[in-house]
Amino acid sequence: THLHRAAAVRALGAYFISDRLSAAPVHEDRQTILAVLALKIFVIKRTTTIGAQSLPAGLAMSLTMGLPPPPPMPARFPVYAQLVLPESKALYYKHIPDTDNDLIICTDELKLTLLGRSCHCPGISTLLLNLFI
CA 12 – CA 19 distance, rounded (Å): 24
Is the CB of residue 60 less than 8 Å from the CB of residue 118?
A: no
Tally of domains in the chain: 1
Please count the other Cβ atoms lying within 10 Å of the Cβ belonging to residue 64: 8
Domain of residue 21 covers 2-106
Whole-number pLDDT of residue 75: 56
pLDDT tens across 45-56, in order?
764 433 334 445
Whole-number pLDDT of residue 23: 92
Is the CB of residue 85 less than 8 Å from the CB of residue 68?
A: no
Q: Does the residue 89 lie in any domain?
A: yes
Q: Does the residue 19 lie in any domain?
A: yes
Whole-number pLDDT of residue 42: 82
Q: Does the residue 14 lie in any domain?
A: yes
> Higher pLDDT residue, 41 or 98?
41
Is the CB of residue 70 less than 8 Å from the CB of residue 6?
A: no
**CA–CA–CA angle 20, 3, 15 (5° rounding):** 35
Tell me the average pLDDT of the chain. 77
Task: For residue 16, name the pLDDT band (cuts at 50, 70, 90).
Answer: very high
- pLDDT(15) > 80: yes
Q: Does the residue 128 lie in any domain?
A: no
Q: Does the residue 132 lie in any domain?
A: no
Nearest to 17 by CA among 2, 31, 6, 38: 31
Q: Does the residue 112 lie in any domain?
A: no
| Mean pLDDT score, 83-93 | 89
Q: Does the residue 88 lie in any domain?
A: yes
Q: Does the residue 120 lie in any domain?
A: no
